[in-house]
Amino acid sequence: MWTVLLQPGTGRRYAPAGRRWIFPKPRGPGPDPTDRGDPRKADGTPRPEPAPLEPDDWTVFGWDSFFNALLLATASGELAWSALLAGIESRYSNGNVPNWRSRLGGTPDRSQPPVGSFAALKLHHLHPDLDALAAAYPGLLAWCDWWVADKGGRPRREGLIPGLLSWGSDTALVPGPGQVPPWEEGASGHLRAAWESGQDDLPLWDEAEWDPERQVLAMSAVDLCSYRALDLECLSRIARILGDEPTAHRLTADYRHLAATVNKVLWSEAAGLYLDELPTGHSTRVAASNFLPLIAGIPSPARARRMADTLRDPHRFRGDWMLPTISRDDPAFADQHYWRGSIWPPMNYLVLQGLRRYGFARLAADLARKGAEMFLADRRRTGMCREYFDARTGRGCGQRFQSWGPLLALGALEQDSEDPLPWHGHGQPQP
């Protein structure tokens, strides 16, 4: 609750991404762009103190806001809805809910994973509020349409295969010098697209080239296709709750078409997994986000069982500390820095929801318990709420006070309380 702030001008209460993510205006040289909350640099020398800063009024991050709303829902429905609406209201006029936005600037060129409809539908089940849901709906719908809006004769984030998506950045909308934090100055299109994914340096992006014409990574991404399918499904349910049947019908049709295309193109029978599509064919690298088709209801039960087998494999994902962002047999697992092998609360939470959706009760309980124990042990040891965790030791890393850390505990709390998944009571779509 200490992270709840007031957004001047709107009166919204919102939860920032963490204590260090209220983007200020530097009075001097900007902060070290490699500083991820660690007190020492990579070479072991201490980091210098940052320059004095002028405080900003507010800074809202994209997917962080929606996870924070679910965390706030454990204490207050009113606060949770306010935080969720603050996230939606950060959008630009074209519908884009950006990576981040503040009084001083933002990222009109890129978004973040579209989990807003999932959070809104789940929140409505926990704290029913038709007025709040109706207030959220237009912005969520505009954001949903933004991903595939026409851009140069193609859908904005169309990947290699028509009907599938890839992460990108609208280069014409990139803010000019002095309008972004120092670490964003001069960032490449590839890096901005990786930031849009939320998994900034995930090893899967190493294989994808930047396509300057389409302004996307040259791939079809399993994670973005899964996020969009989940968004379409949850938003269609919201539309029905609010009585907008024509839109609900359109979104459901789009969901079924996307799910069918993902099943046709991205499923690898040999691997028993959904894999990113590259110009050379399927990628061979497997991340935690390759299991996101589960939360979106994309695989058949038989395919879901094969995916679960990979999660149970101790040479790949299962272990004392889980879920690593990249499989344990990938060379990048040893990096254990940022999204290269470490454990991230939002990915654990989303994969857990998918396991519960398909009835993998024992595997879900194991993941929930291990995540909660890891979070609580580090919290008791350090008094901190860390950004991510080392998959070899379970120790916290990165930012010392990151708001989504407790998602690891929330997953276990939901297991114990039998918290409903947002699609319960609505029937299952047919992929």
Find the mean pLDDT for residues 91-116.
94
1: pLDDT strictly greater than 70:
no
Report if residue 252 sits inside a domain: yes
Confidence at residue 429, expressed as pLDDT on a 0 to 100 scale: 41
Between residues 272 and 40, which one has the greater pLDDT? Answer: 272
Asked whether the predicted pLDDT for residue 286 surpasses 80, the reply is yes
Domain count, the chain: 1
Mean confidence (pLDDT) of the chain? 90
- 3-class SS letters over 102-116: ECCCECCCCECCCCH
CATH number of the domain where residue 262 is located: 1.50.10.10
Token pair, residue 417, equals 């309380």
- The residue ranking higher by pLDDT, 9 or 209, is 209
State the Cα–Cα distance between residues 72 and 23, nearest whole angstrom: 22
Looking at the domain assignment, is residue 129 inside a domain? yes
Q: Does any domain span residue 23?
A: no
Query: What is the C-alpha separation between 160 and 27, in angstroms, rounded?
Result: 44
CA dihedral for 183, 187, 193, 199, sign (positive or negative): negative
Residue 330: alpha-carbon gap to chain centroid: 22
Higher per-residue pLDDT: 240 or 403: 240
Mean per-residue pLDDT, 281-288: 98
In one-letter notation, the amino acid at residue 64 is D
Q: Which two tokens stand for residue 349?
A: 């939470």
pLDDT digits (tens, 9 = 90+) for 113-158: 999 999 999 999 999 999 999 999 999 999 999 999 999 999 999 9
Query: Which residue in this structure is represented by tokens 């001047």?
Result: 8
pLDDT value at position 177? 84
CA 54-55-57 angle, to 5 degrees, is 140
In this structure, are residues 346 and 67 in contact, taking their beta carbons and an 8 Å threshold? yes
CA distance 229 to 431: 10
* Residue 100, H or E segment: strand 100-102
Residue in the structure block whose two tokens are 């609208």: 170
Q: What is the pLDDT of residues 378-418, one digit of tens each?
A: 999 998 888 999 999 999 988 888 889 999 999 999 987 76
Measured CA to CA, the distance from residue 193 to residue 42 in angstroms comes to 25
Counting DSSP H helices and E strands in the chain, the numbers are 11, 16
Q: Is residue 262 part of a domain?
A: yes
Q: Residue 17 in contact with residue 407, Cβ under 8 Å?
A: no
Tokens of 270: 């040999």
Please tell me the predicted confidence (pLDDT) of residue 179.
82
Domain that holds residue 356: 104-417
268 pairs with which residues across the strands?
273
Residue 427 has pLDDT above 50, yes or no: no
Residue 252: predicted pLDDT: 98
Higher-scoring residue by pLDDT: 58, 199: 199
Check pLDDT > 60 for residue 32: no
Residue 39 lies in a domain: no
Q: What count of other Cβ atoms lies within 10 Å of the Cβ of residue 310?
A: 18
> Which tokens is 18 given?
């963490």
Q: What is the pLDDT of residue 44?
A: 59
Task: Give the pLDDT band (50/70/90) at residue 50.
Answer: low
Is 430 domain-assigned? no
Percent pLDDT > 90 in the chain is 76
Q: Which residues lie closer than 8 Å to 304 by C-beta, 6 or more apart?
A: 294, 358, 360
> If you ran DSSP here, which 8-state letter would residue 361 be given?
H
User: What is the per-residue DSSP string for 151-184?
Assistant: ETTEETTB-SSTT-B--B--GGG---TTSS-GGG
Q: Compute the average pLDDT of residues 166-175.
A: 97
Q: What is the pLDDT of residue 378?
A: 93
Q: State the Cα–Cα distance between residues 135 and 150, nearest whole angstrom.
A: 26
Given this model, what pLDDT does residue 425 score? 45
The string of pLDDT tens digits covering residues 181-224 is 888 889 999 999 999 999 999 999 999 999 999 999 999 999 99
- Could you tell me if residue 321 is inside a domain? yes
Q: Is residue 363 part of a domain?
A: yes
pLDDT tens digit sequence for 334-383: 999 999 999 999 999 999 999 999 999 999 999 999 999 999 999 999 98
Give this prediction's pTM: 0.91
The Cβ of residue 83 has, within 10 Å, a number of other Cβ atoms equal to 33
At 38, the pLDDT band (50, 70, 90 cuts) reads: low
* pLDDT of residue 2 exceeding 90: no
Who wins on pLDDT, 31 or 414?
414
H or E element that contains 101? strand 100-102
- Residue 12 pLDDT: 85
